[in-house]
Structures are given as C-alpha cells and as structure tokens.
Amino acid sequence: MRRKIVAGNWKMNTTVAEGVALAKELVAAMSQVPSDVNLVVAPPFVHLTSVGEAIKGSKIALSAQNCADQPKGAFTGEVAANMLAGIGCQYVILGHSERRQYYGETSATLVAKMALALENGLQPIYCVGEMKDERLDNKHFDVVKAQIEEVLFGLTPEQMGHVVIAYEPVWAIGTGLTATSEQAEEIHAFIRKLIADKFGKQIAEDCTILYGGSCKPSNAKELFACPDIDGGLIGGASLKAADFIAIAQSYTISDDALDGVSGGSKIIMPARD
C-alpha cells in the first residue's frame, strides 16, 4: 500500500539529550497528526536506543541514516544492518546525496547496503536526485534514471515492495530553494513510471515516493497535494517539533492553520555560479 510518510532526517545534529527531548515533544504532539500519516525519525546512530525508548508506544517509527555495506567483521566505525534491526529500527536511509558526495558512496556500495537492509527487515528510504549543474544541463531525468536502475533494478518485486524512494534535488537541500511542485511532480511521476516499467503497475502504484529539499510548513501542502508525492524527507525543519508536526499536518490543514509556523523562500531554479 502506498503510504503517507513524513520522515525527519536529523543528520549530524542534536546531542542525545536534545534528541530525546525533541522525540518527546513529537510524541506529545502526535494527537495533532492525522492517523493516516506515518512519522519517522532518523537520529544519529548513538541516539537510536534512547530515542527509540522515547518514542516507544507511539506511532513514530525509528530510522537510521545509513548502514554498512558488509554484514559484520573488521570494519572499524561501521554499523551493520542487523545491529540496527536489533535495536528496533524499522527504516534506514540509503544513498543520501551527502553520503554520495562526501563519503564516495557508489551504486555498487548501495546495492550491497540495500540487500543487507532488506535481508534484515529494514525498509530502505532510497534517496535519488540531481546536482545543480545536472539540472541546469537538463540531465536530471538521466541522472535519476541511472540511480534508480543501478540500485533498485536488481531487486525482486517482493523486495521492491519494501523500498521507499525519496527524490531530493541536491540544489534544494539546505539551500532554502525548493523544487516547484510542478518540477517535483514531474520527476516523481517519472520515477513511478520507471518502477512500473520494471516491476509492474501495481508495485509502482503502491510505492511511496517522498520529496526532500527545503521542505517546510510553508511549501509542504502544495508539494503533498501532487498525485505522485506521498510525503517528505525533511532535514532542517525536522529539528523543530512544531515545524515537523505542521509538515505532517500538511495533507489536510487549511492555509490559516499554517500561520505562525516558520516558512521560507519559494522556489525557484538555481542559477549558475
């Protein structure tokens, strides 16, 4: 089933104490979140156990931000998928552009991570998205197609049924620039068609595809109203409980209810440096 998911990628932010406090604020606000909206939080590794405790019994799910490409052994500093599953993670973010850009993650690495995540019952939130120059050169469809084909097309249809996809244009991440709902919907529909052509119409229809990149209370409503945008992967705005909850309410609430929550600039295309 396609789901409405609003996931918070905390990246390398908050101490454990701050993360637990944020998680508790979210739990306390859950009655304001529509029952069909699934909240997910992805704190840093060292927070997972404590944040997992704080959200226990609530409808908030726990995600890691990454996992190792090896099952176990002498890989100093890495965290294996089965360790994450063992402490109650339900999701793991894979292929985030920051991992690709700063830590050299390739499709080959991601194929290995994807297999281990799925083997251990984790639902991967697989991130794709083009860089600014690729968008300006009109290569965004090719880039996203390659990222989907290289990492997802080796999966079985059953495995694909457990994967959530997040389209995050790199030029929109943390920049205040957001893809217009038309730009985002166009790529989301394109991704769904790629999945349909490979895995069949039903799996594509059921696939949850999130938008990420400066998504915030002021633009979430317009983005989430698009037929192929099922929710968001939220960075900065997930660190403020009120903003994260307001985003989760964006499937249903009126513009008036958004008054008072922090907003941001609207779109537009990046310019060349």
Q: Which residues are catalytic?
A: 96, 168
Residue 40 near ligand 13P by CB under 6 A: no
Distances (CA, A) of 18 to 8, 22, 42, 47, 270: 15, 6, 14, 10, 34
Residue 234 near ligand 13P by CB under 6 A: yes
Residue 65 near ligand 13P by CB under 6 A: no
Pick out residues in 203-222 that bind ligand 13P (CB under 6 A): 212-215
Amino acid sitting at position 199:
F
Amino acid sitting at position 258:
L
Among 173, 187, 247, 248, binds ligand 13P (CB under 6 A): 173
Interface segment toward ligand 13P; rule CB under 6 A; list 15-23, 192-200, 231-239, 241-249: 231-239
Length of the chain: 273
Q: How far is the CB of 97 from ligand 13P (least distance, A)?
A: 7
Question: 10 Å Cβ neighbour count for 142?
Answer: 12
Residue 64 near ligand 13P by CB under 6 A: no
Q: Which is nearer to ligand 13P, 207 or 210 (CB)?
A: 210
Helix (H, G, I), strand (E, B) or coil at 91: strand
Distances (CA, A) of 229 to 2, 34, 192: 10, 17, 10
Residue 233 near ligand 13P by CB under 6 A: yes
Residue 174 near ligand 13P by CB under 6 A: yes
Residue 94, Cα to own-chain centre: how many angstroms?
A: 9
Residue ranges that bind ligand 13P, judged by CB under 6 A = 9, 96, 168, 173-174, 212-215, 233-237
